[in-house]
Chain A
Amino acid sequence: MITKSAYEMSAAMAAGETSSVALTQAHLDRISAVDQHVHAFLHVDTEGALAQAKAVDDARARGEKVGPLAGVPLALKDVMVQQGIPTTCGSKILEGWRPPYDATVVTKLKNAGVVILGKTNMDEFAMGSSTENSAYGPTHNPWDLTRIPGGSGGGSSASLAAFEAPLAIGTDTGGSIRQPAAVTGTVGVKPTYGGVSRYGLIAFSSSLDQAGPCARTVLDTALLHEVIAGHDGKDATSINAPVPQVVKAARDGNVKGMKIGFVKELNGDGYQPGVRSRFEESLELLAKAGAEIVEVSCPNFEYALAAYYLIAPSECSSNLARFDAMRYGIRVGDSDGASAESVMNLTRQVGFGREVKRRIILGTYALSSGYYDAYYGSAQKVRTLIMQDFTKAFTSADVLVSPTCPTTAFKIGEKANDPLAMYLNDIATIPVNMAGIGGMSLPCGLAPEDNLPVGFQIMAPAMQDQRMYTVGAALEAALLDQWGAPLLSRIPALAGTQ
């Protein structure tokens, strides 16, 4: 049962073939069996998950109408606060903190009867592309345990690939949903900025952060999308408009007459040959399905990475100032006569990892007087240019596509000491965040040279998220036809299991 889709699990529960408690227990057992190797979870809430599962079963037994994902287990990225459940954001500085409130996304999940299994590993404060920056140790890619699962949401995507959960929540600031999805052979969607509430999402870069759904199929992703999306009065940047009909789009999957633009600048040099070939084959499949493929050019995308590494650090330098050992989290150096300032300094030295400190310092510099215009100010202008590129491209295409990342999963430790090389991983995902539009990654095969998953990225204009699901569903169906079974059926057995 654990290898089925969330949609199938839900149908099985509705048909009385299984219960949420049984399903939840099966996933808890799977976690017990494999997570020592994968390390997708930072915290497993066995009791809470089973209680929620029982509540759903009881409701169903009473004949109450439950939502489409009621009783289905889910893995929650540890960036989301959940009342009473340890929430660390992958950082030592929050070790032991149990939030006194729920994120809006968590409230929606609970209301929908989704069973939250626990919190998943991530790069500290979502800063990274490999989950190696977690203060609690790296997550391993279920396709090859010596490789990274992507980041920052490596735990969420790895839990899907390892069949520890059929659904997961991720957050995407520069690709943190899509890049892990790509390298683990799963699906991940970054909705339009403002489409899903950020209330209770521990902020990394407020103007870029967006929570989104992760799953193993396009339809599951859409079902979860509709559960978590919608206007929230607690988030001033939340869009006050109806949620795009993504489930309907995922069921339709009809691309006849759609114009699909491949972005010239997001392919070619620097992209692994196997990544390129799988991407190009998928384009052909979409053309066969009736879409018109066009080439578009976004000349300013080459500045996106630089702008991102100014905007995100600047915002994070301010967002992370609150971690000061005064109100919550760890406190270091509070010995007799120590000042509040020295305790803050010591706590932040010990509590933050290297990448977080690096970005805080970079952001502090980019905002400081005398440098603001040259760095932060210029980066915000590049943002304008990238948005203009998208606007123009979307006049000739309904969606834009590219490989999700330039390479397949690299080895753990391979880029740990080269921040710039690491940053390059997000070159194709970052423009989407800069413009606040939607982006999806779905698996499009294995790169022949290393037999590792390749991600196909679909980008849609703001508030047109359903277009990604239409195209994603069409491609998924075409690939399934070709493969005969889902890509994940080809995943090697995990070491020490089965």
Chain B
Amino acid sequence: MSLTYEDVIAKYEPVLGLEVHVELNTNSKMFCGCSTVFGGEPNTQTCPVCLGMPGALPVVNEKAIESSILIGLALNCSITPFSRFSRKNYFYPDMPKNFQISQYDEPICVNGYLDVEIDTDDGVKKFRVEIERVHMEEDTGKSLHVGGATGRIHGADYSLLDYNRAGIPLVEIVTKIVPGTGRYAPEVAKAYVAQLRDILRSLGVSDVRMEQGSLRCDANVSLRLIGAEKLGTRSETKNVNSLRSVERAVRGEMIRHAELLNKGERVVQETRHFQEDTGLTRSGRSKEQAEDYRYFPEPDLVPVAPDAAWIEKLRASLPEHPSVRRNRLQEQWGVPDKEMAAMLNADALEIVEATVLLGADPTRARGWWLGEISRIANEKNVAIADLAISPKDVAEIVALVATGDLTDKLARQVVEGVINAEGSPQEVINSRGLKVVSDETALMAAIERAIAAQPETAEKIRNGHIPAAGALIGAVMKETKGQADAARVRELLLGHLGQPTN
């Protein structure tokens, strides 16, 4: 228990392997016409096919194939000229046919890669994650465990099954083993999933919501002594439902493995479940006897053999690659490397771009999202995207500041109001009475009162000691409850005391 991360990486080299399951956002299921809409009443999106009824047959969703090819192309894969579905046979009540239609030895895409960058103390480092395969399969139904103390599967008296999710199209993206990441393994894993998610989002093939399970990551981790050839035994951690968890799970498993190895114990090859609360993994009851999936070609489906014309048509429809787009935006917006990294780390690129596209100045848009809004998100422990403030709101606020209708200080209050669901920026301004005091007579009166209250300070200014102006400006702002434009107050004050105003 006393091992630190530094101890681990001093002695061991981590080897990663990542399997990501992506739910495609097709309208209908993988092999039948049932709707895929999330959250329907139980068993309202089922038919003989996805219930595995006797006699029912699957037919592949064309869009699912095209989405899979798009994913393969975006990940620099080869699209195989001949691919097939297979049956993966094992019994489980949430799987209606007791086999999963998946792809086995003939997947649709193979041999790609994704380059990921991570920000380190030694600058930006680049890693190439090689992709072994991209294949199609179907999801299972959902079970609700009833009875027992925990509501979990163990101790439940019985289970209730809803097959609305059974047959939802899934794409599984499997990396080759990723050696050579060293101390950065957890960050590389996280960056890989983040970038994969950005690509999938840009392709428009999935909702990529990790918390809703439309993007799920299984992290395989093993350790070997530095310099050793042979790979160590790996564990496979499931249930990793956020980017942060990917990083925590890999780091946690590295430490757990190292502790076992240092004690001379064996790492068990098994499935482990990530615990969001503790950041640790828990063993998933390894089965007494290994499963034998008895894969064989699915006889109810025919091969998928995309011809060159089909593939090229899809290639032509590929959107700008996220990394290309990133570089383009960085250049267009003139963002320094460090801040670009910060923006990516905060997962804010998308939202900042949306704000800029609505007319906001890039620097200011970035400032709001990474500054005040990120601060509030941190406080609330949510993602900025989940706050009740939109790119449109921020663009509006930036515009109001630019026209002088809001001061920065007032704008912060508007942001707070919008996030508190008080309405649009304009509604918050109205309801909170946030107005810049622009009546110069009123401002002059306030300035004179401030001078009268602090005659010595005024005298210093008259004598050319400009920095002293701050105290008087502060007093005016205080009197106007922050609703005055501080820059204008300064101008008026300095002019009144016979000093240059810029």
- Residues facing A in B225-255 (CB within 8 A) are none
- Known contacts A318-B89, A340-B93, A344-B91; A200 and B56 CB within 8 A of each other: yes
Tell whether, in the assembled complex, residue A322 and residue B52 are in contact, meaning their CB atoms are under 8 Å apart. yes
* Minimum CB–CB distance for B30 against chain A, Å: 12
* Minimum CB–CB distance for A337 against chain B, Å: 8
Residue B260, interface by CB 8 Å: no
List the interface of chain B (C-beta within 8 A of A).
47-48, 51-60, 87, 89, 91, 93, 96-99, 159, 161, 292, 294-296, 299-302
- Residues facing B in A290-331 (CB within 8 A) are 314-315, 317-318, 321-324, 326-328
Chain A residues within an 8 Å CB radius of B302: 236-237
Closest to B98 in A: A321
Chain A residues within an 8 Å CB radius of B295: 367
Tell whether, in the assembled complex, residue A315 and residue B299 are in contact, meaning their CB atoms are under 8 Å apart. yes
Tell whether, in the assembled complex, residue B89 and residue A367 are in contact, meaning their CB atoms are under 8 Å apart. yes
Tell whether, in the assembled complex, residue A367 and residue B55 are in contact, meaning their CB atoms are under 8 Å apart. no
- Known contacts A206-B300, A237-B300; A328 and B292 CB within 8 A of each other: no
Which one of A99, A236, A237 lies within 8 Å of B60 (CB-CB)?
A: A236
* Minimum CB–CB distance for A209 against chain B, Å: 9
Tell whether, in the assembled complex, residue B98 and residue A367 are in contact, meaning their CB atoms are under 8 Å apart. no
Which one of B48, B53, B301 lies within 8 Å of A236 (CB-CB)?
A: B301
- Known contacts A99-B54, A344-B91; A322 and B48 CB within 8 A of each other: no
Tell whether, in the assembled complex, residue B55 and residue A199 are in contact, meaning their CB atoms are under 8 Å apart. yes
- Known contacts A101-B48, A321-B98, A372-B296; A326 and B161 CB within 8 A of each other: yes
Chain A residues within an 8 Å CB radius of B52: 322, 327
Closest to B59 in A: A236
Residue A120, interface by CB 8 Å: no
Chain B residues within an 8 Å CB radius of A81: 53-55
Which one of A101, A103, A198, A318 lies within 8 Å of B296 (CB-CB)?
A: A318
Tell whether, in the assembled complex, residue B60 and residue A207 are in contact, meaning their CB atoms are under 8 Å apart. no
A323 to B97, CA, bound (A): 8
What are 5 sample pairs from A and B whose C-beta atoms fall under 8 A apart? A94-B54, A101-B48, A327-B53, A327-B96, A376-B296
Tell whether, in the assembled complex, residue B301 and residue A321 are in contact, meaning their CB atoms are under 8 Å apart. no
Interface bits A356-386 vs B (CB < 8 Å: 1, else 0):
0000000010011100100010000000000
Which one of B55, B60, B98, B296 lies within 8 Å of A202 (CB-CB)?
A: B55
A383 to B224, CA, bound (A): 47
- Residues facing B in A382-441 (CB within 8 A) are none
List the interface of chain A (C-beta within 8 A of B).
80-81, 87, 89, 94, 97, 99-101, 103, 198-203, 205-207, 233-237, 314-315, 317-318, 321-324, 326-328, 340-341, 344, 364, 367-369, 372, 376
A378 to B371, CA, bound (A): 66
Closest to B293 in A: A369
A97 to B55, CA, bound (A): 13
Label chain B's interface by main secondary structure: loop
Which one of B51, B55, B98 lies within 8 Å of A324 (CB-CB)?
A: B98
A431 to B323, CA, bound (A): 57
Tell whether, in the assembled complex, residue B53 and residue A234 are in contact, meaning their CB atoms are under 8 Å apart. no
* Minimum CB–CB distance for B65 against chain A, Å: 12
A236 to B31, CA, bound (A): 10
- Known contacts A340-B93, A368-B292, A369-B292; A235 and B54 CB within 8 A of each other: no
Tell whether, in the assembled complex, residue B55 and residue A201 are in contact, meaning their CB atoms are under 8 Å apart. yes
Closest to B298 in A: A206
Tell whether, in the assembled complex, residue B91 and residue A324 are in contact, meaning their CB atoms are under 8 Å apart. yes
- Known contacts A87-B54, A99-B54, A200-B55; A369 and B294 CB within 8 A of each other: yes
Closest to A106 in B: B55
Chain A residues within an 8 Å CB radius of B59: 233-236
* Minimum CB–CB distance for A422 against chain B, Å: 24
A89 to B97, CA, bound (A): 17
Chain A residues within an 8 Å CB radius of B51: 327
* Minimum CB–CB distance for A98 against chain B, Å: 12
Chain A residues within an 8 Å CB radius of B296: 314-315, 318, 367, 372, 376
Tell whether, in the assembled complex, residue B294 and residue A103 are in contact, meaning their CB atoms are under 8 Å apart. no
Extra pairs beyond A200-B55, A317-B294 (14, CB < 8 Å): A80-B55, A101-B47, A101-B53, A103-B55, A199-B57, A234-B57, A236-B300, A237-B300, A318-B89, A321-B97, A322-B98, A324-B93, A326-B93, A327-B51
* Minimum CB–CB distance for A385 against chain B, Å: 18
Closest to B32 in A: A234
* Minimum CB–CB distance for A91 against chain B, Å: 10
Which one of A94, A234, A364 lies within 8 Å of B294 (CB-CB)?
A: A364
Tell whether, in the assembled complex, residue A236 and residue B91 are in contact, meaning their CB atoms are under 8 Å apart. no
* Minimum CB–CB distance for B98 against chain A, Å: 4
Closest to A336 in B: B157
- Known contacts A100-B48, A326-B161, A327-B51; A321 and B99 CB within 8 A of each other: yes
A89 to B53, CA, bound (A): 13
Chain A residues within an 8 Å CB radius of B93: 324, 326, 340
Tell whether, in the assembled complex, residue B57 and residue A368 are in contact, meaning their CB atoms are under 8 Å apart. no
Tell whether, in the assembled complex, residue B294 and residue A367 are in contact, meaning their CB atoms are under 8 Å apart. yes
* Minimum CB–CB distance for A434 against chain B, Å: 13
Chain B residues within an 8 Å CB radius of A199: 55-57
A322 to B295, CA, bound (A): 16
Chain A residues within an 8 Å CB radius of B299: 205-207, 237, 315
Q: Lowest 5 A-B CB distances belong to which pairs? A: A321-B98, A206-B299, A367-B294, A207-B299, A200-B55
* Minimum CB–CB distance for A108 against chain B, Å: 15
Closest to A233 in B: B59
A318 to B296, CA, bound (A): 9
A332 to B53, CA, bound (A): 19
